[in-house]
Amino acid sequence: MRVVMFGYQTWGHRTLQALLDSEHDVVLVVTHPRSEHAYEKIWSDSVADLAEERGVPVLIRNRPDDDELFERLKEAAPDIIVANNWRTWIPPRIFNLPRHGTLNVHDSLLPKYAGFSPLIWALINGETEVGVTAHLMDDELDAGDIVRQEAVPVGPTDTATDLFHKTVDLIAPVTIGALGLITSGRTEFTKQDRSQASFFHKRSIEDSRIDWTWPAEDLERLVRAQSEPYPSAFTFHRGRRLEVLAARVSDGRYGGTPGRIFYREGDGVAIVAGADARTGRNHGLAVTRVRTEDGREMPAAEYFTSMGGYLTNR
């Protein structure tokens, strides 16, 4: 098939590479300009560079809503558009242009985790598996019929970085497998159960801020979800920003006020956590490694020279 590809960052790069390595003919690539947004500088393999290396025409757009782009698409005469990690709305006159429509590749198990940063949100929320879905685009965000979907388990110590590497390897088989089903003549695919749909916004630095009223189990997953190269989870100690790089749920139960620096436990320092911490029924978050405002990384037991005082949100 003749394919136009819309994509950005490493997700788009892997999709384009899979298409270029397949039997399909990539006739045009549309991608976003480089961004200085903290999350868009991560996993930033260039779609434009790959396309140019392989002699495929490239258009750079923030939004695909201009008449010039539409005319270029008509001239390219694609049988299908394939999109992955396209960051803005694609209008119906574009996604309905090819005879097979538009196949969107999304790194979640739709209908759950539509929208942005699905791996991070899924890890924070304690999901037991994540994956990649190829679906046909329609008027609603990430809501079209599912053509192919594959899942991988979330391990008990997996970070968001681990999940990225697990799922990015699914892009090629999911994308090419879905195109194979479409070229075989199939037209009926799996409807999404919209009662199970959930939608998530882009993450920002604010979303990495530790709220000590969360249960320790949730905070431990937040720390893993904000693994390098993502911006680390952070709190404040004595008015200075402190990044929490590693932590575990404490063995003991600690009562009092959320954020209290309470007790040395093994290689960590237990911080009181949970909105109902006053009951004394909660485990704390045993922080094991931190990074100070001036960039020094050290064991938490070395940083916290004495117990007492509080870690705060601001």
Domain match, 77 and 110 both = yes
Q: What does the pLDDT look like over 112-158, one tens digit per residue?
A: 999 999 999 999 999 999 999 999 999 999 999 999 999 999 999 99
Question: What token pair was written down for 245?
Answer: 């790089």
Q: What does the pLDDT look like over 263-284, one tens digit per residue?
A: 999 999 999 999 999 999 999 9
CA distance 271 to 212: 8
Q: Residue 180 pLDDT more than 90?
A: yes
Half-sphere exposure of 301 (CA within 13 A, CB side): 8
For tokens 């997953």, the residue is: 221
The arithmetic mean of pLDDT across residues 182-197, rounded, is 96
Domain match, 178 and 227 both = no
For position 209, what pLDDT does the model report? 98
For the entire predicted model, the pTM comes to 0.94
Which domain covers residue 289, as residue numbers?
205-312
The arithmetic mean of pLDDT across residues 144-173, rounded, is 98
Q: What does the pLDDT look like over 28-56, one tens digit per residue?
A: 999 999 887 777 778 889 999 999 999 99
Domain match, 243 and 106 both = no
Confidence of residue 199 (pLDDT cuts 50, 70, 90): very high
| CATH number for 255 | 3.10.25.10
Domain match, 165 and 39 both = yes
